[in-house]
Amino acid sequence: MTASPFATHEVFNQTPSLGDMDLWNDDPALQGAVRAFGRLDNELLKSLAAFGERWGTAEMAEFGRLANENPPKLRTYDPHGYRADRVEFHPAYHALMRERMAAGIHCSTWGPDGKLSKPGAFVARAARQMMSAEVEQGHQCPIVMTHAATGALLSEPSLLKEWLPKIRSREYDPAFQPADMKASVTLGMGMTEKQGGSDVRANTTRAERDGDAYRIIGHKWFFSAPMSDAFLVLAQANDGLTCFLMPRFQPDGRVNALRLRRLKDKLGNRSNASSEVEFQGAYARRCGPEGEGIKTIIGMVALTRLDCVIGALGILRAALLQAIHHARFRMAFQKKLIDQPLMRAVIADLALEREAALALGFRLARAFDHPNDADEAAYARLITPAAKLYVCKMVPGFVYECLECMGGNGYIEENSIARLYREAPLNAIWEGSGNIMALDVLRGVMREGDAAEGLLARLAKETEALPGAHAAIVRIQKEFASANREAHARRATEALAQLAAAAALAASAPPAIAEIYATRRLSGIAGRNYGDPVPDALAEELFPRSFSRTA
Ligand SMILES: Cc1cc2nc3c(=O)[nH]c(=O)nc-3n(C[C@H](O)[C@H](O)[C@H](O)COP(=O)(O)OP(=O)(O)OC[C@H]3O[C@@H](n4cnc5c(N)ncnc54)[C@H](O)[C@@H]3O)c2cc1C
């Protein structure tokens, strides 16, 4: 065969495409976390393996690409000029939603009465949530909110009874029609207004009594997944800020008065629709007592914060495995990149950080599996915001470093790591930005001092053999007790998250990993960027724990 007259060169030393992956079997670190903190019996093992294989296919990755390259479109009016207020999604988005709901990620922790469905349900769900977040993040938003909504509905038994059966259905039904005509429902949340998101007490949207129900007048500045079937919304009622359930359709079957003004043009998270909305006397029902809106919706917010952490873990893994894959194939200066001492140090350091985040996230999920245990409740109360601050904030720098491991190829849109980079800051922002998380931890420490002291004592015991742990505890106590404690809250919260991560590693990972993490992070001797060298034998252990496939 003669060479093409147009061939100028042979292509070599480019990394092969990842192709089909196995998100469970190729991730021993994830398996270790589920084993340590969940109930990994044979049935769950089989189910997670099947899930990891399916979500790792090139077909699922392609759905993710298409859903982001074909973002949702707002149809404000129909062709005849009538208000439509509908959002159209690409079929790939629907395919992702269908698969995720079939796996029950929106509901698997809830039994028919809204109580925990079975022991270990949160950890098992976290594994599926993380693996699917490795593939696509935008469609997580309605899944996560639907799952979390039950946390608020628990405050209003009549609403729970009405909505939970359809929340628990695994048959995705995107039809735009009243909930009672549908196989399943999804739910969203409306808290943030133009004049303030973190400070929801500044909400001006008001609620007026209309018989047993209410009419809501006002707006929301961020209102994601607007095609959901109902929303948990905060509005000012007579007795103060109150939580409401606002369905997309009124009881008489007419479309409710939610007017979608426009969709946000976002940095990332393109497959997900985030809208600006006005409520023009929208029908709603009270969820929880009047004036207790924050207390009610916190039941939902705590769960979405947990999912911000778990979703962030998905991004970390997706970026890290690409870096490892690239470094295993790419030659530079006569060696595979993975064998160049400095690249080994960078990737091992990244893998170490991911191990800690993973252990922390799954230890946290375990706390949600024990809602009636006071110690676990204290863990969830303080470590949810601490982990959200620590893990979600690490994502942009982490993805950036992984991207750089791939050189110029990392910066090219065709590589999905570019999409991860745009996605990276989001989990830290929504559901409470970094400072808000630190202030929330501080509030918990101040209001529930005994519970906080008890938690620190337990963490101290769990980390007593680790270098730097004692000094870290003294530092945390000092910063939270400082006269200027608000200004110290970030440092103290990060240190608390690192201590909890070290404890979680000690319980779930090989001892050498917990030890080096503690040495680096608790003693505060780590550099500001990744690349602190680790012993060669440990690097050999870390790489396959993050991504065991080598071919
Ligand atoms: C893509 C996307 C989708 C979203 N979807 C939804 C949705 O569906 N529903 C919904 O209700 N919201 C949604 N949000 C809104 C999101 O939850 C808020 O943007 C977020 O909570 C921050 O609120 P804010 O934008 O009003 O910022 P602000 O509250 O103005 O905060 C700005 C900055 O100030 C800091 N800050 C605030 N108070 C203090 C303080 N006391 N001390 C120190 N620092 C402080 C914050 O940490 C933050 O860094 C979405 C946001 C995004 C980006």
> What is the spatial distance between Cα 461 and Cα 83, in angstroms, rounded to a whole number?
61
Give 449's pLDDT tier (boundaries 50, 70, 90): very high
Question: Is the confidence at residue 414, as pLDDT, over 60?
Answer: yes
Structure token pair of residue 227: 């095609």
Decide: residue 345, CB within 10 A, 0-12 exposed, 13-18 middle, 19+ buried: middle
Tens of pLDDT along 62-78? 999 999 999 999 999 99
- Taking only the tens place, the pLDDT of each residue in 330-384 is 999 999 999 999 999 999 999 999 999 999 999 999 999 999 999 999 999 999 9
Cα atoms in the Cβ-side hemisphere of radius 13 Å centred on 282: 32
Of the pLDDT bands very low, low, confident and very high (cuts 50, 70, 90), residue 550 is confident
Per-residue model confidence (pLDDT) at position 551? 76
Q: What is the pLDDT of residue 229?
A: 98
The DSSP symbol for 410 reads G
pLDDT at 6: 84
Query: What integer best gives the mean pLDDT of the chain?
Result: 97
Q: Which of 221, 297, 436 to mutate to test the pocket of ligand 1 (most atoms within 8 A of CB)?
A: 436
Which tens digits make up the pLDDT trace of 183-213? 999 999 999 999 989 999 999 999 999 999 9
φ and ψ at residue 286, rounded to 5 degrees: -70, 140
Tell me the pLDDT tens digit for each residue of 136-162: 999 999 999 999 999 999 999 999 999
Residue 128, pLDDT score: 98
Please give the pLDDT value at position 1.
52
Closest C-alpha residue for ligand 1 atom 44: 435
Distance, CA of 343 to chain centre = 29
Nearest CA owner, ligand 1 atom 26:
197
| Residue 3 pLDDT class (50, 70, 90 cuts) | low
What is the spatial distance between Cα 442 and Cα 110, in angstroms, rounded to a whole number? 30
pLDDT of the residue at 2: 58
CA pair distance 181, 172, nearest whole angstrom: 13
Residue 118 pLDDT > 60: yes
CA of 396 to the centre of ligand 1 (A): 18
For ligand 1, residues with CB inside 6 Å are 188-192, 196-199, 222-224, 266, 269, 274, 426, 429-436
pLDDT at 524 over 80: no
Residue nearest to atom 27 of ligand 1 (CA): 197
- Compute how many other C-beta atoms are within 10 angstroms of the C-beta atom of residue 491: 15
Distances (CA, A) of 183 to 123, 186, 231, 330, 399: 27, 11, 18, 49, 38
Mutate which of 140, 145, 191, 192 for ligand 1 pocket (most atoms within 8 A of beta carbon):
192
CA angle at 191 for the pair 188 and 194, rounded to the nearest 5°? 125
